[in-house]
Structures are given as C-alpha cells and as structure tokens.
Structure 1
C-alpha cells in the first residue's frame, strides 16, 4: 500500500504462500494443489471459502505482502447503495475466481486511513493487486460477469496467468 512497507517476497515456482482468511496465518501450498484448495495449518479452516474476505487495514497489508495469488479488493461503505447492490455480484465473482484470485472487502468507513492511502475517491472502487502492487482499478458497481471478465482481462494484460 505504501513505500514504507517491505517489498513482497519473490514468487516461487513450486509453492505458494497463502493467508488464511479466518485466522491470518501464512500457509504454504504446492502450486499444483491450488485447485484442490487446502486448509489452514493453524486453525484448519479452508484457505478458500468461495466468498469475499472482510479485511482490516492491517490484514490488507498482510495479504499484499504475503499472498502469491492476485487480490481483487472492493472498497465500499455500508451506507452506499451501489456498494450494497454490488455485494451479491462480488460474492458470485469470488465463487468463480477462487482459488486463483482472492477477493477482499475493505470498509472505507471503518478504515478511512487505508482508503485514503489507496487514493479512493469514490465507492465502490475495485483495486486489483498482484505481487504487492496495484495492477488496475475501476470505480462503480459491476455485475458479476463484468467483474470476472474485467479481472481476467487486467490480469492477462499484466501477464498474470490464472
């Protein structure tokens, strides 16, 4: 998110580091087992739950520094009508894009400093990250099919294969 955080680790060809969405523990998973999911070595929860992960500012930084898979972040607020309208579509996109993309939600009201640091000017805003850096962003609500297509297109444009 900012320059004062250490650079993410270099990508590995044979294994992935994944943050548990339930407890935040870093897990290692062989790359060839990504499609079969996996469970956290600490809390035993599934590493992929087919739904977006609610993130605090600290959890967001942790995911950006550790996760080897892309993160699609929805910056939203509870009072925002378009944000609430897009939530079911974002959840459908999570079910389709996992385990190759992690989807997270950051409440801009609960985490205003993080939203400001990300340069959020309107909500909902989608920000796509990989390797700790921003690849793309889009403002405004999107239906699930467009969310999925936009994510895949931007990852392809950045040379990230799913």
Structure 2
C-alpha cells in the first residue's frame, strides 16, 4: 500500500488521506473539493487550527495576525510568497487574533505578527516579527528535515 499523508482540509475541517506521491498534483478535499496543498495561505478559525495542528502529517506554518496591525498587513504578501515557495512540502495558514481572541490565549501569543510551525501534532518552533519570504522559508527548512 502506498504511503499516505493525513491532512485536514483548511476550508471545511474534514480529515483526508492523500498518497504522498500525489502531494504535488493539487489534491482536493474529498468533501468540499478545496485544494489541500494549493500553495496559498488559508484563513483559519480556532477549531480548524487545533485539528490541523494536532493531526496533520504535513508541516503547518501559522501566522497569528490582526487587521489593525500595520506590520501584519505588510507581511501578508511575503507570507503568500513563502506559501508558494514551500508548497507542496509545507502548508501555510493565518488566523485573525482579533476575530479569534481565544487563539491568541490558547497559543500564548504575546505580540503579532507571530508564526508557529506545527508538525505531527506538536509545536516545533516560533518566530516573531515581519520578515521577507526568504526568511520564513529558511526558518521552516531549518526546523523540518527534508524528508519530514
């Protein structure tokens, strides 16, 4: 049997199993049809974030941000570039801490923008402050082995 990777759909929250060899072939959620590894930044709510952080087998880098935060807004295009550069090996998502204040409490966010890298059910590393896409890519590559 081919090796599969468990991924939570970041749109509907449904668990999916995808053959590892097909991660680069734009797999879609079996329930809602959303792209699972699309190279785009997904907006999350706390429930979906907790499910993906706990159960996904692909690394997930999450941007904790707020619409009133200037550095957060300036960071958004760089975060999107990083998503394209890291796909299909890593997924990127963001959570609005103004709309989801429990997320900031749950993950002890002290300042924004803040980035948390999750892999295989645990927090791997954190990074704070606005950064260029290349810095985010280097951060993830330094924390996740090439064959994660």
TM-score (norm 2): 0.92
**Structure-2 residue corresponding to 1:10:** none
CA contact (8 A) 1:21 1:48 kept: no
- C-alpha distance in 1 between matches for 2:45 and 2:12: 13
**Structure-1 residue corresponding to 2:101:** 112
Residue 109 of structure 1: how far off its partner (Å): 0.9
SS at structure 2 position matched to 1:44: coil
TM-score (norm 1): 0.85
**Structure-1 residue corresponding to 2:80:** 91
- C-alpha distance in 2 between matches for 1:66 and 1:98: 19
The count of residues paired between Structure 1 and Structure 2 equals 147
**Structure-2 residue corresponding to 1:23:** 12
**Structure-2 residue corresponding to 1:161:** 147
Provide the alpha-carbon RMSD of the alignment: 1.5
- C-alpha distance in 2 between matches for 1:44 and 1:106: 22
Q: How does 1:11-90 map to 2 (within 5 A)?
A: 14-90=3-79
Map Cα deviations across residues 43-95 of structure 1 (whole Å, 9 max, x no partner): 22222222111111101011112211011010001010100000000001111
- Segments of 5+ residues of structure 2 without an aligned counterpart are none
Q: How does 1:142-157 map to 2 (within 5 A)?
A: 142-156=131-145
- C-alpha distance in 1 between matches for 2:24 and 2:105: 35
